Amino acid sequence: MAQVTAHILVVEDDESFIEELKRIIADSSGPTIPTFVTNREDAVAKLESGFFDYAILDLKIPTAAGTTDFDPEHGKYVFHHVRKVSPGTKILVLTGSPSDDFIAPLLAQKHDADIWSEGTKVDTVEFLKKIELDQAPDKISRVVAAIHALSGIELHTNGINLSTGEDRLVRIFAKHFRAVTCSVFPIGAGKSGARPLRLQMFDQTGALIREVVAKLGDLRKMQDEDARYDEHVVLLDGAATPRKMKLLEFGAGSMAGLFYQLANGHDASMFNAMAKEDALAARAVVATADALAGWSNGKNQERRSIASIRAQWVSNDKAAELQAEYGLDWAAEFESRMIQTRWCCVHGDLHGENILVSSEGGVLVIDYGDVGFGSAVYDPMTLELSAVLQENPTLGPDWPTADACRQWHDLDAYLVGCPMPEFIRACRAWSEKLMVGRRELAACAYSYLLRQLKYPDTDKDRILALLEGVHACWGDS
């Protein structure tokens, strides 16, 4: 069984206390990897480069090795840096000062949380006077034991390399539901930097407890997605949007995890379904349109510039940079045009890996990190174009050619030789159902394609050819 080892950062400059803390940590209830530093600069460097479950901080430390400018402000700087770059790390502050005024600003950072799924909440920030160091063995040992207890979850990673933070989050979540075994599978990823995974959790009898979608990433991004879910996703049909189960904010350093219950049978992404059967993918597009209809139904039209539609996904400065880099001389004048659009809540990242499909064509829409307001056509246009710009097993070397991309505005000509024509037609039909006119279609396709130009691993030649087809679409409207 894999052993979970507690990673501990100790910031202390007094040799006598360092030796005592080394002994205490060595005698604690489980394996540890302690890292000792004596000053502010080294502490910050370690925090920037490493993972820590637990930080033990002396406040009165110097700025750098070899200096003697001891000041509690340096320790408080490290404290706030832990909270900034590794907000899920539990902190024990060692202080020689009895002043409440000295501690009060740090107390404001304290929370109560069941960090390691022990069943009881603990303080995320604790304080201990150095004259009471005899209490340190109990405090430190309890933390080490809680981290080590996560070893009780047997992980089957199926070849996936989990970071230490990702490993912690999966184990903490599985332990919360009293699982003893958890299997981890890839789902596919967009370009947000967060890691989506499928989890299957089993109890001690071998029975499946839950099947779960986990999204693991930067704490603040996960908190933002959590808020977007509560504001927007709860308004949709619950049958096609997974129920949020838990947000884990502590125990994984800079990372957090959002966990959603996954309905049985949704085993394939839209792209995988497409590779199996084009007609199945087309049915799934219709089901997706129905699932998200609650956002657009009954929404009034607005008059907006194309620039304001694009700005939801690409900043003005970045857009100008991309236009100059790729010679899009027509883009500035194009963006200045005003169009009619239906402005409503949209998913914002509805590529083929963010829709899970059942064998009957039912869908489950996942990943809500970009949910917000935009043109109603943006979602179906994202889904359509993602099929030719992201990793899609249906695509072969023969389509779309550059000439086909330039015919994007003429659907019949564009689809000559296409391996998934029913899927593309279903996406376009969804766009046409929502759009006020073809100018909105062109504006949303332009916005998505410009957004894709930002990323280093996209097919720039294909995007530029598609942009020619989008520009021609405006001329047809």
Instruction: Classify residue 231: in a domain, yes or no.
Output: yes
pLDDT of 238 above 60: yes
The answer to whether residues 18 and 142 belong to one domain is yes
Domain boundary, last residue among 261, 291, 318: 261
The answer to whether residues 232 and 299 belong to one domain is no
Tens-digit pLDDT profile for residues 32-43: 999 999 999 999
Domain boundary, last residue among 196, 226, 261: 261
- Predicted pLDDT of residue 103: 64
Tens-digit pLDDT profile for residues 400-427: 999 999 999 999 999 999 999 999 999 9
The answer to whether residues 158 and 110 belong to one domain is no
pLDDT of 475 above 80: no
Tens-digit pLDDT profile for residues 82-108: 999 999 999 999 887 655 455 656 666
Instruction: Look up residue 37 and give its two tokens.
Output: 């530093």
- Predicted pLDDT of residue 361: 84
Collect all residues with Cβ–Cβ distance below 8 Å to 378 and sequence separation of at least 6: 309, 312, 313, 346, 348, 444, 447, 448
320-328's contacts with Cβ under 8 Å and 24+ in sequence apart are: 322/450, 322/453, 322/454, 326/453, 326/460, 326/464, 328/467
Instruction: Return the CATH number at 227.
Output: 3.30.200.20
The answer to whether residues 196 and 94 belong to one domain is no
The answer to whether residues 438 and 306 belong to one domain is yes
Tens-digit pLDDT profile for residues 329-373: 999 999 999 999 999 999 999 999 999 998 888 899 999 999 999
pTM value? 0.89
Domain boundary, last residue among 201, 231, 261: 261
Instruction: Classify residue 11: in a domain, yes or no.
Output: yes
Mean pLDDT of 276-296: 95
Q: Can you give the residue range of the structural domain that contains 185?
A: 153-261
Q: How many domains does the chain have?
A: 3
The answer to whether residues 113 and 91 belong to one domain is yes
Q: How high does pLDDT run on average in the chain?
A: 92
- Predicted pLDDT of residue 192: 65
The answer to whether residues 33 and 85 belong to one domain is yes
Collect all residues with Cβ–Cβ distance below 8 Å to 287 and sequence separation of at least 6: 240, 361, 362, 363
